[in-house]
Structure 1
Protein backbone atom coordinates (compact mmCIF):
# COMPACT_ATOMS: atom_id res chain seq x y z
CA UNK A 1 0.00 0.00 0.00
CA UNK A 2 1.29 3.44 -0.84
CA UNK A 3 2.16 5.82 1.98
CA UNK A 4 -0.76 8.12 2.85
CA UNK A 5 0.33 11.71 2.41
CA UNK A 6 -1.05 15.07 3.50
CA UNK A 7 -1.83 17.84 1.06
CA UNK A 8 1.50 18.74 -0.45
CA UNK A 9 3.38 22.00 0.05
CA UNK A 10 4.77 21.55 -3.47
CA UNK A 11 4.04 21.83 -7.12
CA UNK A 12 3.46 18.92 -9.44
CA UNK A 13 2.20 15.42 -8.75
CA UNK A 14 3.61 11.98 -9.27
CA UNK A 15 1.96 9.68 -11.80
CA UNK A 16 1.62 7.06 -9.07
CA UNK A 17 1.81 7.25 -5.31
CA UNK A 18 5.33 6.53 -4.04
CA UNK A 19 6.17 3.51 -1.95
CA UNK A 20 6.53 3.91 1.84
CA UNK A 21 10.29 3.46 1.48
CA UNK A 22 10.52 6.19 -1.15
CA UNK A 23 8.55 8.56 1.08
CA UNK A 24 10.89 7.94 4.02
CA UNK A 25 13.99 8.43 1.88
CA UNK A 26 12.52 11.68 0.56
CA UNK A 27 11.85 12.89 4.11
CA UNK A 28 15.42 12.08 5.11
CA UNK A 29 16.84 13.84 2.06
CA UNK A 30 14.65 16.89 2.53
CA UNK A 31 15.62 17.21 6.19
CA UNK A 32 19.26 16.66 5.22
CA UNK A 33 19.04 19.56 2.76
CA UNK A 34 17.35 21.84 5.28
CA UNK A 35 19.81 21.16 8.11
CA UNK A 36 22.84 21.21 5.83
CA UNK A 37 21.79 24.56 4.39
CA UNK A 38 21.09 26.34 7.65
CA UNK A 39 23.93 24.90 9.75
CA UNK A 40 26.56 25.28 7.02
CA UNK A 41 25.55 28.90 6.62
CA UNK A 42 25.52 29.51 10.37
CA UNK A 43 28.95 27.97 10.95
CA UNK A 44 30.83 28.77 7.75
CA UNK A 45 29.35 32.04 6.52
CA UNK A 46 27.40 33.90 9.21
CA UNK A 47 30.43 35.40 10.93
CA UNK A 48 33.09 34.96 8.31
CA UNK A 49 35.17 37.95 9.36
CA UNK A 50 35.97 41.43 8.06
CA UNK A 51 37.59 42.83 4.95
CA UNK A 52 40.63 45.09 5.03
CA UNK A 53 38.41 48.15 5.40
CA UNK A 54 36.50 46.63 8.30
CA UNK A 55 33.36 45.69 6.35
CA UNK A 56 31.84 42.42 7.54
CA UNK A 57 32.11 39.55 5.08
CA UNK A 58 29.69 37.33 6.94
CA UNK A 59 26.05 36.92 6.00
CA UNK A 60 24.81 37.29 9.58
CA UNK A 61 21.33 36.47 10.84
CA UNK A 62 19.77 37.60 7.57
CA UNK A 63 21.84 35.14 5.56
CA UNK A 64 21.06 32.26 7.90
CA UNK A 65 17.35 33.07 7.74
CA UNK A 66 17.40 33.16 3.96
CA UNK A 67 19.38 29.93 3.84
CA UNK A 68 16.79 27.98 5.82
CA UNK A 69 13.94 29.43 3.77
CA UNK A 70 15.65 28.64 0.47
CA UNK A 71 16.44 25.11 1.65
CA UNK A 72 12.78 24.51 2.52
CA UNK A 73 11.62 25.82 -0.85
CA UNK A 74 14.11 23.61 -2.70
CA UNK A 75 13.23 20.56 -0.63
CA UNK A 76 9.49 21.13 -0.92
CA UNK A 77 9.52 21.21 -4.70
CA UNK A 78 12.13 18.44 -5.06
CA UNK A 79 10.91 15.93 -2.48
CA UNK A 80 7.47 17.13 -1.45
CA UNK A 81 5.62 15.29 -4.22
CA UNK A 82 7.09 12.05 -2.87
CA UNK A 83 6.66 12.40 0.89
CA UNK A 84 4.54 15.51 1.49
CA UNK A 85 7.59 17.59 2.35
CA UNK A 86 7.47 17.72 6.16
CA UNK A 87 11.24 17.69 6.93
CA UNK A 88 10.37 18.44 10.55
CA UNK A 89 8.91 16.23 13.32
CA UNK A 90 6.81 19.14 14.57
CA UNK A 91 5.21 19.54 11.16
CA UNK A 92 4.46 15.82 11.02
CA UNK A 93 2.80 15.98 14.45
CA UNK A 94 0.82 19.07 13.52
CA UNK A 95 -0.44 17.52 10.30
CA UNK A 96 -1.46 14.36 12.15
CA UNK A 97 -3.30 16.40 14.80
CA UNK A 98 -5.15 18.23 12.03
CA UNK A 99 -6.22 14.99 10.38
CA UNK A 100 -4.00 15.47 7.36
CA UNK A 101 -1.55 12.64 8.05
CA UNK A 102 -2.00 9.15 9.58
CA UNK A 103 -0.78 8.74 13.14
CA UNK A 104 0.46 5.27 12.21
CA UNK A 105 3.13 6.83 9.98
CA UNK A 106 4.33 9.55 12.36
CA UNK A 107 7.11 7.59 14.09
CA UNK A 108 8.74 6.37 10.89
CA UNK A 109 8.67 9.90 9.44
CA UNK A 110 10.26 11.32 12.59
CA UNK A 111 13.01 8.69 12.54
CA UNK A 112 13.77 9.46 8.89
CA UNK A 113 13.91 13.19 9.62
CA UNK A 114 16.24 12.75 12.59
CA UNK A 115 18.57 10.57 10.54
CA UNK A 116 18.63 13.07 7.68
CA UNK A 117 19.48 15.93 10.03
CA UNK A 118 22.21 13.97 11.81
CA UNK A 119 23.86 13.02 8.52
CA UNK A 120 23.88 16.71 7.55
CA UNK A 121 25.69 17.88 10.67
CA UNK A 122 28.08 14.95 10.41
CA UNK A 123 29.00 16.18 6.94
CA UNK A 124 29.56 19.68 8.35
CA UNK A 125 31.92 18.14 10.93
CA UNK A 126 33.76 16.34 8.14
CA UNK A 127 34.29 19.63 6.34
CA UNK A 128 35.44 21.18 9.60
CA UNK A 129 38.11 18.51 10.02
CA UNK A 130 39.81 20.03 6.98
CA UNK A 131 39.32 23.60 8.16
CA UNK A 132 41.81 26.00 9.74
CA UNK A 133 43.61 24.86 12.88
CA UNK A 134 41.21 24.88 15.80
CA UNK A 135 38.10 25.72 13.74
CA UNK A 136 36.18 22.55 14.56
CA UNK A 137 37.11 22.62 18.24
CA UNK A 138 36.09 26.25 18.48
CA UNK A 139 32.77 25.60 16.72
CA UNK A 140 31.96 22.75 19.07
CA UNK A 141 32.96 24.69 22.16
CA UNK A 142 30.61 27.48 21.02
CA UNK A 143 27.75 24.98 20.75
CA UNK A 144 27.93 24.09 17.05
CA UNK A 145 24.97 26.38 16.23
CA UNK A 146 22.84 24.43 18.70
CA UNK A 147 19.62 25.83 20.06
CA UNK A 148 19.75 27.00 23.63
CA UNK A 149 19.39 29.70 26.24
CA UNK A 150 21.85 31.49 28.46
CA UNK A 151 25.33 31.04 27.01
CA UNK A 152 23.91 29.35 23.92
CA UNK A 153 21.46 32.19 23.20
CA UNK A 154 22.91 34.74 20.74
CA UNK A 155 21.09 37.47 22.64
CA UNK A 156 21.54 36.08 26.14
CA UNK A 157 17.88 35.15 26.65
CA UNK A 158 16.87 32.76 29.42
CA UNK A 159 14.88 29.53 29.23
CA UNK A 160 11.51 31.29 29.44
CA UNK A 161 12.19 33.14 26.21
CA UNK A 162 13.13 29.91 24.46
CA UNK A 163 9.98 28.16 25.65
CA UNK A 164 7.66 30.95 24.49
CA UNK A 165 9.42 31.27 21.13
CA UNK A 166 9.29 27.56 20.40
CA UNK A 167 5.65 27.19 21.41
CA UNK A 168 4.32 30.24 19.60
CA UNK A 169 6.38 30.27 16.45
CA UNK A 170 6.08 26.53 15.84
CA UNK A 171 2.30 26.89 16.16
CA UNK A 172 2.31 29.81 13.73
CA UNK A 173 4.43 27.84 11.26
CA UNK A 174 2.12 24.82 11.37
CA UNK A 175 -0.97 27.00 10.92
CA UNK A 176 0.59 28.61 7.83
CA UNK A 177 1.32 25.16 6.41
CA UNK A 178 -2.20 23.92 7.12
CA UNK A 179 -3.73 26.99 5.53
CA UNK A 180 -1.67 27.12 2.37
CA UNK A 181 -1.99 23.36 1.75
CA UNK A 182 -5.72 23.09 2.51
CA UNK A 183 -7.37 20.78 -0.06
CA UNK A 184 -9.98 23.32 -1.14
CA UNK A 185 -8.79 26.71 0.12
CA UNK A 186 -5.04 26.30 -0.28
CA UNK A 187 -2.79 27.03 -3.24
CA UNK A 188 -0.43 24.11 -3.90
CA UNK A 189 1.29 25.94 -6.75
CA UNK A 190 2.91 28.48 -4.45
CA UNK A 191 2.69 26.59 -1.17
CA UNK A 192 6.38 25.66 -1.07
CA UNK A 193 7.38 29.29 -1.56
CA UNK A 194 4.98 30.57 1.10
CA UNK A 195 6.21 27.99 3.62
CA UNK A 196 9.84 28.85 2.92
CA UNK A 197 9.16 32.56 3.35
CA UNK A 198 7.28 31.90 6.60
CA UNK A 199 10.26 29.97 7.98
CA UNK A 200 12.58 32.78 6.90
CA UNK A 201 10.44 35.27 8.79
CA UNK A 202 10.43 33.07 11.89
CA UNK A 203 14.22 32.86 11.86
CA UNK A 204 14.62 36.60 11.33
CA UNK A 205 12.47 37.19 14.41
CA UNK A 206 13.85 34.54 16.75
CA UNK A 207 17.50 33.65 16.02
CA UNK A 208 18.69 36.13 18.69
CA UNK A 209 16.53 34.38 21.32
CA UNK A 210 17.54 30.73 21.00
CA UNK A 211 19.07 30.19 17.53
CA UNK A 212 15.57 29.19 16.31
CA UNK A 213 14.53 25.58 16.32
CA UNK A 214 10.82 25.06 15.52
CA UNK A 215 12.22 21.74 14.28
CA UNK A 216 13.34 19.01 16.72
CA UNK A 217 15.34 17.21 14.01
CA UNK A 218 17.45 20.32 13.48
CA UNK A 219 17.99 20.65 17.24
CA UNK A 220 19.03 17.03 17.66
CA UNK A 221 21.39 17.26 14.70
CA UNK A 222 23.38 20.14 16.19
CA UNK A 223 23.22 19.07 19.83
CA UNK A 224 24.96 15.81 18.89
CA UNK A 225 28.12 17.83 18.21
CA UNK A 226 27.42 20.82 20.46
CA UNK A 227 28.63 19.32 23.70
CA UNK A 228 27.14 18.64 27.10
CA UNK A 229 25.38 21.99 27.56
CA UNK A 230 23.62 21.72 24.20
CA UNK A 231 22.52 18.18 25.00
CA UNK A 232 21.31 19.19 28.46
CA UNK A 233 19.14 21.95 26.97
CA UNK A 234 17.86 19.84 24.08
CA UNK A 235 14.67 18.79 25.86
CA UNK A 236 13.17 22.26 25.46
CA UNK A 237 13.57 22.03 21.68
CA UNK A 238 11.93 18.62 21.58
CA UNK A 239 9.03 19.24 23.94
CA UNK A 240 7.85 22.75 23.13
CA UNK A 241 7.92 22.65 19.31
CA UNK A 242 5.94 19.39 19.59
CA UNK A 243 3.41 20.99 21.93
CA UNK A 244 3.09 24.06 19.73
CA UNK A 245 2.56 21.92 16.65
CA UNK A 246 -0.04 19.72 18.32
CA UNK A 247 -1.93 22.74 19.65
CA UNK A 248 -1.93 24.33 16.19
CA UNK A 249 -3.08 21.13 14.48
CA UNK A 250 -5.97 20.49 16.85
CA UNK A 251 -6.97 24.17 16.89
CA UNK A 252 -6.92 24.44 13.11
CA UNK A 253 -9.01 21.30 12.78
CA UNK A 254 -11.56 22.60 15.30
CA UNK A 255 -11.75 26.13 13.94
CA UNK A 256 -11.42 25.63 10.20
CA UNK A 257 -12.54 22.08 9.57
CA UNK A 258 -9.13 20.44 9.19
CA UNK A 259 -9.06 18.57 5.90
CA UNK A 260 -12.72 19.30 5.19
CA UNK A 261 -13.93 22.18 3.07
Structure 2
Protein backbone atom coordinates (compact mmCIF):
# COMPACT_ATOMS: atom_id res chain seq x y z
CA UNK A 1 0.00 0.00 0.00
CA UNK A 2 1.43 3.35 -1.08
CA UNK A 3 0.51 5.49 1.95
CA UNK A 4 1.71 8.95 2.94
CA UNK A 5 4.13 9.25 5.83
CA UNK A 6 1.44 10.90 7.95
CA UNK A 7 -0.77 7.86 7.45
CA UNK A 8 2.18 5.69 8.45
CA UNK A 9 2.69 7.70 11.63
CA UNK A 10 -0.98 7.33 12.52
CA UNK A 11 -0.75 3.60 11.81
CA UNK A 12 2.17 3.26 14.23
CA UNK A 13 0.22 5.24 16.83
CA UNK A 14 -2.86 3.03 16.49
CA UNK A 15 -0.85 -0.19 16.30
CA UNK A 16 1.02 0.54 19.53
CA UNK A 17 -2.21 1.64 21.18
CA UNK A 18 -3.80 -1.71 20.33
CA UNK A 19 -0.71 -3.56 21.58
CA UNK A 20 -0.79 -1.89 25.00
CA UNK A 21 -4.57 -2.08 25.29
CA UNK A 22 -4.66 -5.82 24.61
CA UNK A 23 -1.39 -6.65 26.39
CA UNK A 24 -1.62 -4.61 29.58
CA UNK A 25 -5.38 -5.10 29.53
CA UNK A 26 -4.71 -8.83 29.83
CA UNK A 27 -2.26 -8.23 32.68
CA UNK A 28 -4.85 -6.13 34.50
CA UNK A 29 -7.49 -8.77 33.94
CA UNK A 30 -5.45 -11.57 35.51
CA UNK A 31 -3.92 -9.63 38.42
CA UNK A 32 -6.29 -6.94 39.73
CA UNK A 33 -8.56 -7.62 42.68
CA UNK A 34 -12.17 -8.29 41.72
CA UNK A 35 -11.48 -9.16 38.10
CA UNK A 36 -13.33 -12.24 36.90
CA UNK A 37 -10.14 -13.40 35.19
CA UNK A 38 -7.93 -12.90 38.24
CA UNK A 39 -5.57 -15.81 38.68
CA UNK A 40 -5.63 -16.88 35.04
CA UNK A 41 -1.85 -16.55 35.14
CA UNK A 42 1.08 -15.44 33.06
CA UNK A 43 0.15 -17.59 30.08
CA UNK A 44 -3.09 -15.65 29.65
CA UNK A 45 -1.18 -12.37 29.82
CA UNK A 46 1.34 -13.68 27.31
CA UNK A 47 -1.44 -14.48 24.86
CA UNK A 48 -2.87 -11.01 25.40
CA UNK A 49 0.41 -9.51 24.24
CA UNK A 50 0.79 -12.05 21.43
CA UNK A 51 -2.61 -11.15 20.02
CA UNK A 52 -1.88 -7.50 20.74
CA UNK A 53 1.07 -7.76 18.36
CA UNK A 54 -0.49 -10.04 15.76
CA UNK A 55 -3.54 -7.81 15.20
CA UNK A 56 -1.62 -4.57 14.40
CA UNK A 57 0.84 -6.46 12.21
CA UNK A 58 -2.00 -7.88 10.13
CA UNK A 59 -3.72 -4.50 9.89
CA UNK A 60 -0.76 -2.17 9.40
CA UNK A 61 2.13 -4.21 7.97
CA UNK A 62 1.40 -3.06 4.43
CA UNK A 63 0.90 0.55 5.57
CA UNK A 64 3.68 1.44 8.00
CA UNK A 65 5.42 -1.89 8.39
CA UNK A 66 3.58 -2.55 11.65
CA UNK A 67 6.75 -1.91 13.64
CA UNK A 68 4.98 -0.62 16.81
CA UNK A 69 8.30 -0.81 18.67
CA UNK A 70 11.19 1.70 18.82
CA UNK A 71 13.68 -1.16 19.10
CA UNK A 72 12.48 -2.49 15.74
CA UNK A 73 12.46 0.95 14.15
CA UNK A 74 15.99 1.79 15.36
CA UNK A 75 17.26 -1.68 14.51
CA UNK A 76 15.97 -1.50 10.95
CA UNK A 77 17.33 2.03 10.51
CA UNK A 78 20.75 0.96 11.82
CA UNK A 79 20.82 -1.84 9.27
CA UNK A 80 19.79 0.48 6.44
CA UNK A 81 16.34 -1.08 6.18
CA UNK A 82 14.38 2.03 7.22
CA UNK A 83 15.04 5.75 6.54
CA UNK A 84 16.54 7.67 9.46
CA UNK A 85 14.52 10.74 8.45
CA UNK A 86 11.36 9.10 9.82
CA UNK A 87 12.74 7.34 12.91
CA UNK A 88 11.91 10.12 15.40
CA UNK A 89 8.36 10.47 14.08
CA UNK A 90 7.77 6.72 14.29
CA UNK A 91 9.08 6.54 17.86
CA UNK A 92 7.01 9.54 18.97
CA UNK A 93 3.89 7.98 17.44
CA UNK A 94 4.65 4.67 19.17
CA UNK A 95 5.12 6.28 22.61
CA UNK A 96 1.96 8.37 22.27
CA UNK A 97 0.06 5.29 21.16
CA UNK A 98 1.30 3.40 24.21
CA UNK A 99 0.15 6.24 26.49
CA UNK A 100 -3.34 6.30 24.97
CA UNK A 101 -3.56 2.49 25.06
CA UNK A 102 -2.70 2.51 28.76
CA UNK A 103 -5.27 5.23 29.46
CA UNK A 104 -7.88 2.97 27.86
CA UNK A 105 -6.79 0.12 30.14
CA UNK A 106 -7.25 2.42 33.15
CA UNK A 107 -10.64 3.54 31.84
CA UNK A 108 -11.77 -0.09 31.74
CA UNK A 109 -10.20 -1.25 35.03
CA UNK A 110 -10.29 1.87 37.21
CA UNK A 111 -12.57 0.32 39.84
CA UNK A 112 -10.34 -2.74 40.01
CA UNK A 113 -7.18 -0.68 40.42
CA UNK A 114 -8.86 1.05 43.36
CA UNK A 115 -9.74 -2.32 44.93
CA UNK A 116 -6.21 -3.70 44.56
CA UNK A 117 -4.23 -3.21 47.77
CA UNK A 118 -0.80 -4.07 46.38
CA UNK A 119 1.08 -1.26 44.67
CA UNK A 120 3.45 -3.69 42.94
CA UNK A 121 0.51 -5.49 41.32
CA UNK A 122 -0.89 -2.17 40.15
CA UNK A 123 2.43 -1.12 38.63
CA UNK A 124 2.70 -4.52 36.94
CA UNK A 125 -0.36 -3.68 34.85
CA UNK A 126 1.55 -0.66 33.53
CA UNK A 127 5.26 -1.36 33.30
CA UNK A 128 7.93 -3.96 34.01
CA UNK A 129 10.09 -4.49 37.10
CA UNK A 130 12.67 -7.04 38.13
CA UNK A 131 11.91 -10.00 40.36
CA UNK A 132 15.33 -9.43 41.99
CA UNK A 133 14.50 -5.99 43.35
CA UNK A 134 15.73 -5.33 46.87
CA UNK A 135 15.38 -2.10 48.87
CA UNK A 136 18.36 0.18 48.24
CA UNK A 137 20.15 -2.60 46.32
CA UNK A 138 19.24 -2.35 42.68
CA UNK A 139 22.42 -3.53 41.00
CA UNK A 140 21.43 -7.17 40.52
CA UNK A 141 17.96 -6.19 39.33
CA UNK A 142 19.35 -3.76 36.76
CA UNK A 143 21.95 -6.21 35.43
CA UNK A 144 19.54 -9.12 35.22
CA UNK A 145 16.86 -6.96 33.66
CA UNK A 146 19.24 -5.56 31.06
CA UNK A 147 20.48 -9.00 30.02
CA UNK A 148 16.93 -10.35 29.95
CA UNK A 149 15.53 -7.52 27.83
CA UNK A 150 18.49 -7.37 25.45
CA UNK A 151 18.54 -11.10 24.70
CA UNK A 152 14.77 -11.34 24.44
CA UNK A 153 14.56 -8.41 22.03
CA UNK A 154 17.44 -9.79 19.98
CA UNK A 155 15.50 -13.02 19.46
CA UNK A 156 12.29 -11.11 18.78
CA UNK A 157 13.70 -8.74 16.16
CA UNK A 158 15.77 -11.42 14.45
CA UNK A 159 12.67 -13.61 14.25
CA UNK A 160 10.53 -10.79 12.88
CA UNK A 161 13.04 -9.99 10.15
CA UNK A 162 13.21 -13.65 9.21
CA UNK A 163 9.43 -14.08 9.16
CA UNK A 164 8.79 -10.96 7.13
CA UNK A 165 11.50 -11.76 4.62
CA UNK A 166 10.21 -15.26 3.99
CA UNK A 167 6.51 -15.28 4.75
CA UNK A 168 5.62 -11.76 3.65
CA UNK A 169 6.92 -12.54 0.20
CA UNK A 170 9.86 -10.13 0.12
CA UNK A 171 12.13 -12.64 -1.60
CA UNK A 172 9.37 -13.58 -4.02
CA UNK A 173 8.90 -9.94 -4.97
CA UNK A 174 12.63 -9.65 -5.62
CA UNK A 175 12.38 -12.63 -7.95
CA UNK A 176 9.38 -11.12 -9.69
CA UNK A 177 11.22 -7.79 -10.07
CA UNK A 178 14.07 -9.53 -11.89
CA UNK A 179 11.57 -11.37 -14.08
CA UNK A 180 9.64 -8.18 -14.89
CA UNK A 181 12.86 -6.32 -15.73
CA UNK A 182 13.91 -9.12 -18.06
CA UNK A 183 10.59 -8.67 -19.86
CA UNK A 184 11.09 -4.93 -20.19
CA UNK A 185 8.39 -4.08 -17.62
CA UNK A 186 8.56 -1.27 -15.06
CA UNK A 187 9.63 -2.40 -11.58
CA UNK A 188 8.62 0.70 -9.62
CA UNK A 189 5.42 2.17 -8.25
CA UNK A 190 2.24 0.77 -6.78
CA UNK A 191 1.19 -0.89 -10.05
CA UNK A 192 4.27 -3.08 -9.97
CA UNK A 193 3.75 -3.96 -6.29
CA UNK A 194 0.14 -4.96 -6.93
CA UNK A 195 1.13 -7.04 -9.94
CA UNK A 196 3.91 -8.68 -7.94
CA UNK A 197 1.60 -9.74 -5.14
CA UNK A 198 -0.98 -10.94 -7.65
CA UNK A 199 1.67 -13.08 -9.32
CA UNK A 200 2.73 -14.80 -6.11
CA UNK A 201 0.57 -17.75 -5.20
CA UNK A 202 -0.65 -17.55 -1.61
CA UNK A 203 0.84 -14.11 -0.88
CA UNK A 204 -2.07 -13.04 1.33
CA UNK A 205 -1.98 -16.33 3.19
CA UNK A 206 1.76 -15.94 3.61
CA UNK A 207 1.29 -12.53 5.23
CA UNK A 208 -1.21 -14.02 7.65
CA UNK A 209 1.20 -16.83 8.51
CA UNK A 210 3.95 -14.29 9.10
CA UNK A 211 1.77 -12.23 11.46
CA UNK A 212 0.65 -15.36 13.29
CA UNK A 213 4.26 -16.47 13.66
CA UNK A 214 5.24 -13.08 15.12
CA UNK A 215 2.39 -13.23 17.64
CA UNK A 216 3.21 -16.78 18.70
CA UNK A 217 6.91 -15.91 18.96
CA UNK A 218 6.08 -13.11 21.39
CA UNK A 219 3.92 -15.46 23.46
CA UNK A 220 6.92 -17.78 23.71
CA UNK A 221 9.22 -14.91 24.65
CA UNK A 222 6.82 -13.74 27.36
CA UNK A 223 6.83 -17.25 28.81
CA UNK A 224 10.61 -17.64 28.56
CA UNK A 225 11.73 -14.21 29.73
CA UNK A 226 8.70 -13.01 31.67
CA UNK A 227 9.64 -14.69 34.93
CA UNK A 228 12.53 -12.31 35.46
CA UNK A 229 11.04 -8.94 34.52
CA UNK A 230 7.54 -9.45 33.02
CA UNK A 231 9.37 -8.58 29.79
CA UNK A 232 8.88 -5.40 27.81
CA UNK A 233 10.97 -6.08 24.66
CA UNK A 234 9.62 -2.71 23.55
CA UNK A 235 10.66 0.70 24.94
CA UNK A 236 7.33 2.34 24.07
CA UNK A 237 5.29 -0.43 25.70
CA UNK A 238 7.11 0.21 29.00
CA UNK A 239 7.86 3.95 28.96
CA UNK A 240 4.44 5.17 27.83
CA UNK A 241 2.46 3.28 30.50
CA UNK A 242 5.04 4.15 33.17
CA UNK A 243 4.50 7.82 32.41
CA UNK A 244 0.76 7.28 32.82
CA UNK A 245 1.31 5.48 36.13
CA UNK A 246 3.47 8.32 37.45
CA UNK A 247 0.90 11.07 36.92
CA UNK A 248 -2.34 9.27 37.78
CA UNK A 249 -3.45 10.03 41.36
CA UNK A 250 -4.30 7.58 44.12
CA UNK A 251 -7.97 8.37 43.61
CA UNK A 252 -7.65 6.51 40.29
CA UNK A 253 -5.09 3.80 41.12
CA UNK A 254 -5.90 3.21 44.78
CA UNK A 255 -4.43 4.32 48.09
CA UNK A 256 -1.66 1.73 47.85
CA UNK A 257 -0.22 3.09 44.60
CA UNK A 258 3.56 2.69 44.73
CA UNK A 259 6.24 4.78 43.09
CA UNK A 260 6.82 4.25 39.37
CA UNK A 261 10.35 2.84 39.90
CA UNK A 262 12.06 5.31 37.61
CA UNK A 263 15.41 3.97 38.79
CA UNK A 264 14.66 0.89 36.68
CA UNK A 265 12.83 2.62 33.81
CA UNK A 266 15.92 3.08 31.62
CA UNK A 267 16.52 -0.68 31.44
CA UNK A 268 13.44 -1.64 29.35
CA UNK A 269 14.19 1.36 27.13
CA UNK A 270 17.91 0.95 26.45
CA UNK A 271 18.28 -2.84 26.58
CA UNK A 272 15.65 -3.60 23.89
CA UNK A 273 17.26 -1.01 21.61
CA UNK A 274 20.65 -2.69 22.04
CA UNK A 275 19.16 -6.12 21.34
CA UNK A 276 17.12 -4.87 18.39
CA UNK A 277 20.02 -3.08 16.72
CA UNK A 278 22.35 -6.08 17.12
CA UNK A 279 19.70 -8.42 15.71
CA UNK A 280 19.06 -6.23 12.67
CA UNK A 281 22.77 -5.79 11.96
CA UNK A 282 23.42 -9.53 12.24
CA UNK A 283 20.43 -10.34 10.04
CA UNK A 284 21.66 -7.96 7.37
CA UNK A 285 25.18 -9.37 7.62
CA UNK A 286 23.89 -12.91 7.09
CA UNK A 287 21.08 -12.42 4.56
CA UNK A 288 21.49 -9.05 2.85
CA UNK A 289 25.02 -9.06 1.47
* TM-score, with length taken from structure 2: 0.73
Residues 1:234 and 2:258 aligned together: no
User: Which of 68, 78, 85 is the aligned partner of 2:59?
Assistant: 78
Where does residue 256 of structure 1 map in the other structure? 287
> Once the two structures are superposed, what CA deviation does each residue of 1:29-75 show, in whole Å capped at 9, x if it has no partner?
00000011111110123466799xxxx85321000101111111111
Q: Is the 8 A contact 1:46 1:64 kept in 2?
A: no
The 5 A counterparts of 1:158-177 are 158-177=141-160
Residue number in structure 2 paired with 1:209: 228
- Contact 1:94–1:249 (CA<8 Å) still a contact in 2? yes
Aligned to 1:181: 164
Cα distance change, pair 198–48 in 1 and its aligned pair in 2 (3 A): farther
User: Which residue of 2 is the match for residue 39 of structure 1?
Assistant: 24
Q: CA–CA distance in 2 between the matches of 1:184 and 1:133?
A: 48
Q: Unaligned 5+ residue runs, structure 1?
A: 1-13
The TM-score with structure 1 as length reference comes to 0.81
C-alpha separation in 2, matches of 1:202 and 1:115: 25
Number of equivalenced pairs: 235
Quick one: distance in 1 between partners of 2:96 and 2:44? 25
Give the match for residue 4 of structure 1.
none
Larger Rg: 2
In 1, distance between residues paired with 2:155 and 2:100?
A: 28
- Does the 8 Å contact 2:19/2:53 carry over to 1? yes
Asked if 1 retains the 8 angstrom alpha-carbon contact of 2:22 and 2:49, the reply is yes
CA RMSD of aligned residues (A): 2.7
Alignment partner of 2:63: what SS?
A: helix
Residue 256 of structure 1 and its aligned partner are, at CA, apart by: 1.8
Residue of structure 2 in register with 1:220 after alignment: 239
Unaligned runs of 5+ in 2: 174-205, 247-258
Contact 1:125 1:136 in 2 (8 A): no
Describe the SS at the equivalent of 1:100.
coil
- Write the distance in 2 (CA, Å) between the matches of 1:50 and 1:189: 33
Asked if 2 retains the 8 angstrom alpha-carbon contact of 1:95 and 1:178, the reply is no
Which of 14, 22, 44 aligns to 2:7? It is: 22
Corresponding residue for residue 115 of structure 2: 135
Task: Call closer, same or farther: CA 1:37–1:141 in 2, change over 3 Å.
Answer: closer
Q: Which has the higher helix share?
A: 2
Per-residue deviation, 1:92: 0.8
